[in-house]
């Protein structure tokens, strides 16, 4: 016996012939299959593949829907055009209405100005007539205008006949009652207070039965009078009456005075 006989061998045992033959057969089958596949592959790849997509046919229903949509679009366009015409007509009518209103306002304004001018002319004519009447009445009256200071006061007053009454007015073309009296007596150097209350106590109190031309008449209580005028004789007085009358001559019988003072 060898001295290495008891050591197991490291060499692999040989396969048996039948098993090796089986493996070879399997490999050969696989290679044959690959050869067949490779041969048929290029042939198949050479043939082009065509996919065809068929478009849907335009049916009667779809055609009807398209026609209806076109009709609706046309109707909308017609409606828009009609509305645009209506809006334009409304705008034009409004513009014409504003123009007509402006013309009417201008005509009314012109008419008012003409009427104001007519009334002013009538007022001037009336004042001129009143002045003429006063002078005529004074000349024909049994009571003669006084001379001296009283005559100068009355002469100034008659020159203002027809002037306007304005509250607080002191001349030269508009007066209130006390402003006119103050200005008249200033012509002869008599400086009267400004208000009717003060003028009613500025001189010597005289009975109404004894008044003379040039005396100051007052209405209300002495010291609190609300109106004044100047006696011109023959039962008449001259005053700046009110906004509707202006400077006029009036009768004491129609508006009796409360008292009188004499400053001349």
Q: What is the pLDDT of residues 218-263, one digit of tens each?
A: 999 999 999 999 999 999 999 999 999 999 999 999 999 999 999 9
Judge whether 132 lies within some domain.
Answer: yes
Judge whether 63 lies within some domain.
Answer: no
The pTM assigned to this predicted structure is 0.49
* Residue 182, domain extent: 145-262
Shared domain for 115 and 152, answered yes or no, is no
Judge whether 23 lies within some domain.
Answer: no
Q: Nearest Cα to 218, choosing from 210, 205, 229, 206? A: 229
Shared domain for 124 and 217, answered yes or no, is no
Q: Nearest Cα to 175, choosing from 250, 249, 248, 247? A: 247
The number of C-alpha atoms within 13 Å of 160 and in the hemisphere containing its C-beta is 30
Judge whether 156 lies within some domain.
Answer: yes
Judge whether 221 lies within some domain.
Answer: yes
pLDDT tens for each residue of 173-186:
999 999 999 999 99
pLDDT tens for each residue of 209-226:
999 999 999 999 999 999
Shared domain for 78 and 181, answered yes or no, is no
Shared domain for 131 and 151, answered yes or no, is no
Shared domain for 123 and 161, answered yes or no, is no
Judge whether 28 lies within some domain.
Answer: no
Last residue of a domain, one of 140, 157, 172: 140
Shared domain for 160 and 255, answered yes or no, is yes
């Amino acid at each position: 016996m060898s001295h290495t006989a008891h050591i197991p061998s490291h060499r692999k045992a040989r396969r048996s012939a039948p098993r090796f033959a089986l493996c070879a057969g399997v490999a050969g089958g696989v290679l044959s299959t690959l050869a067949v596949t490779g041969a048929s592959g290029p042939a198949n790849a050479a043939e082009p593949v065509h996919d065809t997509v068929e478009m849907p046919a335009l049916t009667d229903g779809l055609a009807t829907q398209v026609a209806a949509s076109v009709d609706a679009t046309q109707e909308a366009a017609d409606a828009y055009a009609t509305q645009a015409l209506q809006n334009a007509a409304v705008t034009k009518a409004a513009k014409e209405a504003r123009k007509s209103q402006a013309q009417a306002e201008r005509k009314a304004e012109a008419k008012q100005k003409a009427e104001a001018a007519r009334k002013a002319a009538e007022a001037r004519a009336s004042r001129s007539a009143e002045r003429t009447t006063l002078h005529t009445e004074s000349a024909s009256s049994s009571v003669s205008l006084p001379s001296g200071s009283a005559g100068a006061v009355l002469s100034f007053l008659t020159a203002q006949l027809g002037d306007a009454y304005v509250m607080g007015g002191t001349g030269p073309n508009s007066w209130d009652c006390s402003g006119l009296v103050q200005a008249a007596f200033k012509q002869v150097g008599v400086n009267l207070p400004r208000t009717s209350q003060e003028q009613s106590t500025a001189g010597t109190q005289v009975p109404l039965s004894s008044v003379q031309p040039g005396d100051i008449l007052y209405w209300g209580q002495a010291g609190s009078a609300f109106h004044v005028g100047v006696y011109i004789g023959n039962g008449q007085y001259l005053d700046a009456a009110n906004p509707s009358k202006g400077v006029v001559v009036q009768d004491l019988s129609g508006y009796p005075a409360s008292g009188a003072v004499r400053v001349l």
